[in-house]
Chain A
Amino acid sequence: MVAHSPVFTALRVVELADDPGGEQVGKLLADLGADVIKVEPPGGAASRAVGPFADGDSAAIADRSLTYWTYNTGKRSVVLDDSAAGRPDRDRLIAAADVLISTARPAELAERGLDFAALMRASPRLIILSLTPFGLTGPHADYRSSDLVGLAAGGLLNSCGYDDHSIPPIRPGGNQGYMTAATLAHCGLLLALIERAKSGQGQLVDASMHEAIAVSGELANPYWFYPRALVRRQTARHAQPVPSQPALFECSDGVWVYFALILSDRRAWAALVSWLDDRDMAADLTEPKYLDLEFRQREFAHVQEVIEAFFLVQDSTAAYQDGQGRGLPIAPVRAPEEVLQDEHLREREFFVPVQLPADKPRTAEFPGSPYRFSAFIARPRSPARLGADTSRVLAELDGDGSHHGGQA
């Protein structure tokens, strides 16, 4: 119950990733116990230069990037010269690995002297996970990308923004284009590991952020594939081919709640009216004429006003508990600092203390693993200081070649 799976602790991964997508796949493996060796250039991976930084942006140094820490828990850090001088060690590391994670586009592979076919010929059990912006093949294989650009190209951005269409589509936060690509690429890698256990053969998994986003629009593609309708963005609620009612309501504490009333749902209507009535704020909604769906639909602007007035005098946390207690799918729009205080997450011990690679011993809470297994654990471990494991990892290569687990 308290140990990693031996299948993952035996897994040796070399990560050549310089975007959050590839780094996140390495993190997911490291959290399961895999020995993930992150190869970085002398100045550190690109993410080490991305803020925010521990102790503020004025402390912008490689070992204080919260972006790096987010996507690189539990890995070992090895610094190798990124010119040709570092390549022999890099290639020896890859030859001794089960998995190589790469985010380089075809042109970058050529520049860096990485030849996947040759690596796989030399190590038939090697699995290469290539996660690139557009995939290794096709006319856009060398197109550049970013989280914003990826979300735009893949269609997800088209669904996100405000009712006011003079405002452009708005990118949701948190590198979700890369995160979508990472989760699906992780699945591809796991499939390849399952296949290798049967065949003894590795393979190349060529995953593409563009495709990952293009298949993750939820309703957008089915609406095009079937009724040939295009969805249009709406504020914080589903993009639809036809407009729907606003679903954000402001509460007395200034926090918004999300509540999408489905007028045709009689049970939800009854629960809402009884809630309003218990607070003496139902106005005329208790009148029998509102039991008629068409009447409710005709009067929807009025219904919406009554709900707006109601939430304006509710505390968001109380509204969450009361509404959910009445079976209504309602939720406060929580800021991250409020998420950290959530009693439900606290009781489940979701957040876990992680030792920070800081000068003074210090821990901070990180989000735990989203899946829990009865047979083994997955949880984040300390991110590494730049180059912390270089000499040890290279010594292992020169030694008996036996695998060492990641840091405890």
Chain B
Amino acid sequence: MSLELATTAVDRVPRARTGPLAGIRVADFCWMGVGSVATRLLADYGAEVIKIENRKRLDTPRKLPIYRGVIRAYGEEDTDPDPNKGGLFNNYCRNKLGVTIDMSVPAGHELAVELIRRSDLVTENFAPGVMERWGLTYDFMRTLRPQVIYGRMSGFGHSGPNAHYRSYGPVVQAVSGLTFISGLPGREPSGWGLSYMDNQAAYYASAALLTAILHCQQTGEGSEVDLSAVETGVGLIGADLLDVTVNAQATRRDGYPTGNRLQHPHAAPHGVYPALGEDTWVAIAVFGDVDWDRFVAAVGSPAWALDPRFATQQSRCEHQDDLDAQVAQWTRQRDKHETMRLLQAAGVAAAAVQNSQDLTDNDPQIAARGTFFELDHPVIGPALFEGTPMTMSRSEPDNWRSAPLLGEDNDYVFGEVLGLSPERLVQLSEAGVI
């Protein structure tokens, strides 16, 4: 405790929050990626999200070596991590409060129960069965708080033969079909270079929690919410899934998927083309004859662009290999941002393939919209954060604090929210309960 107290600056002390969710308290058992990102949105908009952690089993993002000044692969966990140094944890847990509870001892369990009694929402994304082992079922929670909203997130949902299967983003993407539908024809899928479904499952979970809050706000009725990441992924396949159910058209066929080429609707040129510089690219999407005329004018009406083979959308699609080669000849001589500006000025959809440095340092739109913002952190120092991607005329995110240090808010939550005495807090701390 003393370490946390020593590093806790005055401006990190919990205060009344602002925003549409001010006054809503969340007992947040979430960890890893999906759960933490899901409750982050609630914390951003004013909910008092109390993240419940276990000192004996640190949240993985606290251990992943995304540190200042050290470049290591994601899979290389730090064997002796400073739990307060992880950048990914900071990113996921901003605006939340943090407490530590050892759920395996009765005194710890009792703290959790008292916290649930005073919370509007309870959230978790453990492997199915963990909350049940603690006796923390929806039925039990309703005896503590009749209107409680209990949000559960898992890979496969809480019923069905595979409910216990292990999953993370790439597994969800593979099982749900999203990996298969992504790639060049005739070879292995390129799939996803990220845990896309960690984000989408988290965003859907945020939406589900907000939906349940809205329902409760106006009817007084709570709800249990079960979100399956795999089902979320299947729901995002798009029209190719209906092609199976309506037309019995299998996707495991020659020529599928089509990489960067677009079949529905037909578009050409439609692709990612080389730009000046090694492994540097620009995306261009030309949808119809009006677009094509603009494109031709923008590239200076060269002879190749006036070739009759490229005169109509259908003909451009039929001769796409030759068309792409010509477009690539033109794009490779130019900076990716220069191409984007030139084509956009002509009314053609185009963008540099931007990396995170481009987004941070070289994107006037991100800068003007204030998408990224900075918060200080006692161990990490000032850091950038990914904000919410919208501007609301009456509601702003309340970005009051970076992620909690391990157990940083034990005194506030157990003392002020639960009303325990300072002496009791010392006892619980010395006994390793908190």
Contact = CB atoms under 8 A, between A and B. Distances in A.
A330 B170 CA distance: 9
Nearest to A256: B188
Given A135-B369, A162-B190, A172 B181 contact: yes
A52 B264 contact: yes
Interface stretch (B48-56, B306-314, B351-359): B351-359
Contacts of B71: 227, 229, 241-242
Size category of the binding interface on chain A: 35 or more
B189 interface: yes
Interface residues of B, number: 163
A193 B351 CA distance: 34
B56 to A, nearest CB: 17
B227 to A, nearest CB: 5
B182 A140 contact: no
A146 B285 contact: yes
B262 interface: yes
Contacts of A7: 214-215, 218-219
B317 interface: no
A221 B357 CA distance: 8
A328 B75 CA distance: 15
A55 B33 CA distance: 41
Nearest to B243: A52
Nearest to A190: B210
B300 interface: no
A371 B225 CA distance: 7
A170 B349 contact: no
Interface stretch (B128-136, B251-259, B414-422): B251-259
B246 interface: yes
A6 B388 contact: no
A203 B393 contact: yes
A231 interface: yes
Nearest to A380: B235
Interface string B339-351: 0100010011111
Interface string A179-220: 111011111101111110111010111111011101111111
B392 A188 contact: yes
Contacts of A115: none
B338 to A, nearest CB: 15
A206 B272 contact: no
A165 interface: yes
B431 interface: no
A369 B29 CA distance: 24
B177 interface: yes
Nearest to A199: B394
19 contacts: A7-B219, A52-B239, A54-B246, A153-B340, A155-B354, A155-B356, A168-B274, A170-B272, A194-B214, A201-B394, A211-B371, A236-B191, A238-B194, A258-B174, A335-B252, A339-B177, A368-B231, A371-B205, A373-B212
Sort A-B residue pairs by CB-CB distance and give the 5 closest, nearest first.
Answer: A211-B389, A159-B193, A236-B191, A173-B181, A226-B87
